[in-house]
Amino acid sequence: NYTLEMIDLAALVVFTVEMLAKMLAWGIIIDEQSYLRDGWNVLDFLVVVLSLIDLGVGAGNTPLKPIRLMRSLKSLRLL
């Protein structure tokens, strides 16, 4: 259980850094090529933000636990 929590936290850190780097490089929403103008990036943004909220709420049965399953959607971009 501890190992899975650490993997989950590591994935969240990687996804958060990726999101922030893209936002800094491309801009957030103003330009036509900005971060939130791409559908996959909007999905990434929602997954990261909801995961950060889930992390902030703490352990237990929060209503945001199913959001962790959405992280697997990020791998669909590779297909």
Residue 11: band (very low, low, confident or very high) from pLDDT cuts 50, 70, 90 = confident
Cα 65 from Cα 45, distance rounded (Å): 17
Mean pLDDT of all residues in 57-79: 63
pLDDT tens digits, one per residue of 17-55: 999 999 999 999 888 899 999 998 998 898 888 888 878
Query: Phi/psi of residue 65, each to 5°?
Result: -55, -40
> For position 69, what pLDDT does the model report?
63
Question: H-type helices in 1-79, by residue range?
Answer: 2-26, 39-57, 67-70
CA 76 to chain centre: 14
Query: CB neighbours (10 Å) of residue 54?
Result: 19
Of residues 49 and 57, more confidently modeled: 49
Structural contact between residues 48 and 12, judged by C-beta atoms closer than 8 angstroms: yes
* 0.85 surpassed by pTM: no
